[in-house]
Amino acid sequence: MTNEKINLYSLKQADLEDLFVSWKQPKFRAQQLYEWIFNNRVKSFDEMTNLPKAIREKLAEETTLGILEVVTEQQSHDGTVKRLYRLPDGQFVEAVLMAYDDNRRTACISTQAGCAMGCVFCATGQMGFARHLTASEIFEQAMHFAQDLQADDERLSNVVLMGMGEPFHNYDHSLETIRRLMQDLGIGARHITVSTVGMVPQIRRFADEGLQVKLAISLHSATDAERDALIPVNKRWDLAELMDACNYYIMKSGRRITFEWALINGETDTEDQAHALGQLLKGMNCHVNAIPLNPTKGFTGGPSVKDRTEEFKQILSKYGVEMTVRVRRGIDIAAGCGQLKSEVIGTDEIK
């Protein structure tokens, strides 16, 4: 039985040095390999022309450039690309690349196979939970998009941890991924966003990390009764606790916080909810990022209509709360927010 190949995407530069030393090769080879992988973003060892052929052959024999297998790829009429990846143990995750007119290229990546949060309007939440992804499995999703864009003389400019899963439920691996996105892919902290449904201890912990990464909170309701019904985690950490943690983050980071809001017709787009949200956020250094609900098979609610959306925005403005209505992207290939879904194989204990 052969040993499992070493995934080079899981190694830091110091680890690469240790690998070459173990092969009785000089350390400078590690720097060469690092540059080929993370600066030039090549997809094969044959392209690493300043490495001796014998080393390239040994790399091909004992290591691999990634472990994710593309099962399917779909492209929306708006240019959005969605990939379904198979993980080594047979689990599946999806990742999305969105192109914008201002030349932004944003990767939306997954942090878990499935999700344990159970948000009723989210396709991933309807799946159930299989397992956490490792940092290298999360990072590799962005890496593949960065490679493809560089081959077309473009660059990956933004990354959002908003795909399948709750990043703060997989805190350590999500944070390691964020650091690697900055160090190995050169993505600036302010061009990385992590989204959470409101895991209060982790929000506070994240505030103490001292990063300038953007934080987005999936809020979706401004009263506990309504939020309990939509987002079960609210029963554990209610709105008062969540707002307290958000204010702590703003105080510690000096950063504006974003609240995500799914506009559900007749539920979260009403005048009462708009006033409740305005009262909840009044005076806070924040922004509301609203999007008409994206359809999923497991939820019967529909998206808000334009007039109600505009009225909701106007009410918030009276409280000094700014709201942007986001353009829905990739809907025709189920690549929009809350639409990512795949098969969950087995279950894993929630930690």
Strands 105-108 and 92-99: antiparallel
| Annotation says 311 is catalytic | no
| Annotation says 94 is catalytic | yes
The catalytic position among 94, 137, 226, 260 is 94
The catalytic position among 115, 119, 246, 337 is 337
CA distances 28 to 45, 51, 219, Å, are 17, 11, 49
Is residue 106 within 8 Å of 160, Cβ to Cβ? yes
Residue among 107, 104, 103, 106 at smallest CA distance from 94: 107
Is residue 85 within 8 Å of 98, Cβ to Cβ? no
Residues 155, 191: Cα–Cα separation, whole Å: 13
Residues 64, 66: Cα–Cα separation, whole Å: 6
Residue among 129, 124, 121, 165 at smallest CA distance from 295: 121
Q: Which positions are catalytic?
A: 94, 337
